[in-house]
Amino acid sequence: MRRSKFFMPTMKENPAEAQIPSHCLMLRAGMVRQTAAGIYSWLPLGYRVLKKIEQIVREEMDATGAQEILMPTIQPAELWRESGRYDDYGKEMLRITDRHERGLLYGPTHEEIVTDIFRNSVKSYRDLPQNLYQIHWKFRDEVRPRFGVMRGREFFMKDNYSFDIDKDSARRSYNKMFVSYLRCFARMGLTPIPMQADSGAIGGDMSHEFIVLADTGESAVYCDPTWLYTDPLSLEIDFDDDLQPIVDRWTELYAATDDKYDADNCPIDESRLYTGRGIEVGHIFYFGTKYSTAMGATVSDGQGRDVAVEMGSYGIGVSRLAGAIIEASHDDNGIVWPESVAPFKVGLINLRSGDGPCDAVCENIYASLNNAGVETLYDERDERAGVKFAEMDLIGLPWQVAVGPRGVKAGTVEIGRRGAAREEVSSESALARLA
RNA sequence: CGGAGCGUGGCGCAGCCUGGUAGCGCACUUGUCUGGGGGACAAGGGGUCGUGGGUUCAAAUCCCGCCGCUCCGACCA
């Protein structure tokens, strides 16, 4: 993509409404624009990131055997009356009335819809287990949206719903999600820490929040430092195996948020205890037959009985992750994208647009990278070098390639990681490193 | 939902208290000089001052209503 053609309205100054780095940087980099309180439009740069995150989540979900579906954002109030949540949910649910005075709502979550689909279509234990997921918009009318996309009212979310014949099977489904979540966040360059969460009426140990570490995170985190050195991607995973040993290995390590942390009863010695901050980006929980009972989602168990199906649901805040990744990875000059979610891999800077030799070298590199399928943003505008460097740092592409008259005369270009010193190498070796 | 504050050009702000020609920085346009970390000079364009009413000879400015947004607290992917 040529910078001169790319719609990326960047700002030199900090917008007044942005209080935290990610919000500020997303606005300055031209990733998003606020449309209303807690409601955002995603511009090309931001949307590229959102799609990268979404795709990682999709790949990891598919790897567990879950299947992607797409449910409506607008739901009938009637289904929520069946589950009993229409009155329970409160003002966070956006209620709508159509022209026929029928009650509708913009879905804050989808247990009712998916349970309705399931009960109408599945009647036998032989069709279990099943796990369906979707990635799309939800709306929760938060009293106080803030922090940009980190706490919006409308947000992009991945949500799974598992269906099992009994509790043992439900635990296996739960464990798949648990392990899958660790992989998802790790692939985005984040350090995920699962924390036991309040599992509500059901009780038990089958509810975890996933926190990713970021200095500017909303919640304080106290944990065993082993978390920081454990890479989920190094695990050999077969989702058909019993994953309980892996889950046990992760959950036996201490981790707590500030509301659960108690200095006097903490099993980790203070000298070893890691204390930091984090952002909640995912939540998984098993809720048994809460909805299946209320809504009559039963299957034949093979012994002539109809039993309510065991369910769980599993969310990942996809749009929130865009902000969370920036919180976890930025410096004074701007964003520092992990390569897996970067909007482009390479920023190519022509330091002297209009200079024949510089143009020629840049065009050659740009064409070669495009041919190799390397996503490249080529800044070929007639701007001064400082402007281009500052903007490239702001948008945080993992690699910068700078081409200037000095180097071109000597037969070199400069290549470096975002934030690190650039080295002078030949065009060919720069290309070899990137392609 | 309790408390506080702010709406003036695309962004950041001043002007309001003490009513009288709407201003500054950035961004934008054109030109010249420049040319490796948001450059300089010059000339330009762009604003019914959130909105509706009221007071007044006269309202960005004073008064009232409404809308929007932000912050602090309680709640959440």
CA of A411 to C1' of B49 (A): 57
Structure-block tokens of residue A223 = 């944990």
Q: Which of A198-207, A228-237, A356-365 holds the top average pLDDT?
A: A356-365
Domains (ranges, CATH) in chain A?
A: 3-71+110-335 (3.30.930.10), 344-434 (3.40.50.800)
| Nucleotide closest to A393 measured between CA and C1' | B37
Rounded Cα distance, A261 and A429, in Å: 52
Strands (DSSP E) found in A11-120: 32-36, 39-42, 67-68, 74-76, 94-97, 103-106
| Nucleotide closest to A218 measured between CA and C1' | B76
Q: What is the structure's pLDDT at A258?
A: 79
What is chain A's mean pLDDT, rounded? 93
Structure-block tokens of residue A379 = 């800044």
CA of A399 to C1' of B37 (A): 17
| Nucleotide closest to A154 measured between CA and C1' | B77
| Nucleotide closest to A410 measured between CA and C1' | B36
A43 neighbors A32 (Cβ within 8 angstroms): yes
| Nucleotide closest to A355 measured between CA and C1' | B35
CA distances from A349 to A79, A356, A382, A393, A407 (A): 55, 15, 11, 11, 13
CA distances from A204 to A1, A20, A200, A312, A353 (A): 51, 36, 9, 13, 64
pLDDT digits (tens, 9 = 90+) for A99-129: 899 999 999 999 999 999 999 999 999 999 9
Kindly tell me if the per-residue pLDDT of A22 is higher than 80: yes
Residue nearest to nucleotide B37 (CA to C1'): A386
| Nucleotide closest to A382 measured between CA and C1' | B35
Rounded Cα distance, A242 and A239, in Å: 8
Instruction: State which amino acid sits at residue A399.
Output: W
CA of A83 to C1' of B59 (A): 57
Higher pLDDT, A51 or A229: A51
In this prediction, residue A353 has a pLDDT band, given cuts at 50, 70 and 90, of very high
Rounded Cα distance, A155 and A73, in Å: 12
Name which of A4-8, A93-97, A392-396 the model is least confident about: A93-97
CA of A396 to C1' of B56 (A): 56
Q: What is the structure's pLDDT at A256?
A: 85
pLDDT digits (tens, 9 = 90+) for A402-426: 999 999 999 999 999 999 999 999 9
Q: What is the structure's pLDDT at A203?
A: 58
Kindly tell me if the per-residue pLDDT of A201 is higher than 60: no
| Nucleotide closest to A386 measured between CA and C1' | B37
Kindly tell me if the per-residue pLDDT of A53 is higher than 60: yes
Q: How many CB atoms lie within 10 A of CB A370?
A: 13
CA of A23 to C1' of B16 (A): 31
CA of A14 to C1' of B19 (A): 34
Report chain A's C-alpha Rg in angstroms: 25
Q: What is the structure's pLDDT at A332?
A: 93
Rounded Cα distance, A105 and A109, in Å: 11
| Nucleotide closest to A315 measured between CA and C1' | B77
The rounded percent of chain A whose pLDDT value lies above 70 is 99
Structure-block tokens of residue A333 = 């000059």
- State which H helix or E strand residue A424 sits in: strand A423-425
pLDDT digits (tens, 9 = 90+) for A67-88: 999 999 999 999 999 999 988 8
CA of A85 to C1' of B70 (A): 32
Name which of A20-34, A191-205, A278-292 the model is least confident about: A191-205
In this prediction, residues A290-316 reach a mean pLDDT of 95
ipTM at complex level: 0.92
CA of A144 to C1' of B4 (A): 14
Alpha helices in A214-355 (DSSP H): 244-251, 290-295, 318-328
In this prediction, residue A197 has a pLDDT band, given cuts at 50, 70 and 90, of confident
Dihedral pair phi/psi, residue A281, rounded to 5°: -120, -5
Kindly tell me if the per-residue pLDDT of A341 is higher than 80: yes
Rounded Cα distance, A268 and A274, in Å: 9
Contacts with A205 (C-beta within 8 Å, 6 or more apart), sequence order:
A196, A199, A251
CA of A255 to C1' of B47 (A): 55
Rounded Cα distance, A25 and A46, in Å: 11
In this prediction, residue A133 has a pLDDT band, given cuts at 50, 70 and 90, of very high
Which of the nucleotides in strand B have any atom less than 7 Å away from a protein CB atom? 1-2, 11-13, 25-27, 34-39, 68-77
The rounded percent of chain A whose pLDDT value lies above 90 is 77
A278 neighbors A211 (Cβ within 8 angstroms): yes
Q: What is the structure's pLDDT at A150?
A: 92
CA of A29 to C1' of B12 (A): 16
DSSP structure class, residue A151: B
Kindly tell me if the per-residue pLDDT of A264 is higher than 90: no
